[in-house]
Amino acid sequence: MKKVVLILFFVVSLGELLSGIVGSKEMHFILKPLIMISLGVYYWIAISQNRSVIVVCAIFFSLAGDVALMFDTVNSVFFILGLTEFLISHIFYILSYRQHQSQSVADELQGIQKMRFAFPIVLAGTGLIVVLYPVLGDLRFPVIIYALVIVTMVLNALFRFGRTSVKSFRMVFAGAISFMISDSLLAINKFMEPINHAGLLILATYILAQFLIIEGLCTHFSTNKINHHP
């Protein structure tokens, strides 16, 4: 059953990508919400024990954000609503990262290591804020808050290093980075200048991000091997 739902997730995701290529609004309105719905069902089936309400909330608010952003061209209030819902989703993902790690801190990144690996992430986040700041207008405050939260989300994924399995760390961290890339592309395309094939790039990196994060969190409980080397 788990494989069937996972296949459904990929079929729905490919269908949504295709809807962007052919410009089918009907396909888009049907398939976009099904991305997180199918991924949520997959998570529920994949984790028979240790299911996390926090992860379910992250999935739910991602779904709500997807639906809101489907109407952002109708009224700008839907963009703010979508931004808020994804911000809440990121907060739940931050909490889920802390939940899906071992209590031992002996093998985690230490001092200068944390600073060294965190610096490029912080630099990318603050750099994007600096570039976007002059063109954000009334949305400056909410966009800056959102950017700070997503940087924090990525850092929390990074700081799982040494406190979970190698596979779980890599998948969740890669997913968090992909989420940051997707949101950065969205912001640049919306506020600065159009990006070629922006819709496909934003959607593809978003789908990849959600899958890697959820699969990575599921993988945390499948092995007790911990990553000992940065």
Radius of gyration of the chain (CA): 18
CB 28 within 8 A of CB 19: yes
Neighbours of 63 (CB within 10 A): 20
Give the tokens for residue 136.
Answer: 């954000």
CB 202 within 8 A of CB 185: yes
Query: What is the DSSP-derived secondary structure letter of residue 36?
Result: H
Give the tokens for residue 146.
Answer: 């959102």
Would you say the pTM of this structure is higher than 0.95? no
DSSP output for 171-216: HHHHHHHHHHHHHHHHHHHHHT---TTHHHHHHHHHHHHHHHHHHH
Query: What is the DSSP-derived secondary structure letter of residue 157?
Result: H
CB 162 within 8 A of CB 108: yes
d(CA 175, CA 212): 5
Residue by residue, pLDDT tens for the chain (230 residues) are: 889 999 999 999 999 999 999 999 999 999 999 999 999 999 999 998 889 999 999 999 999 999 999 998 888 899 999 999 999 999 999 999 999 998 877 778 888 888 999 999 999 999 999 999 999 998 999 999 999 999 999 999 999 999 999 999 999 999 999 999 999 999 999 999 889 999 999 999 999 999 999 999 999 977 644 544 44
Neighbours of 38 (CB within 10 A): 20
d(CA 179, CA 209): 5
**CA distances for 69 relative to 16, 79, 164, 215, 220, angstroms:** 14, 6, 34, 24, 31
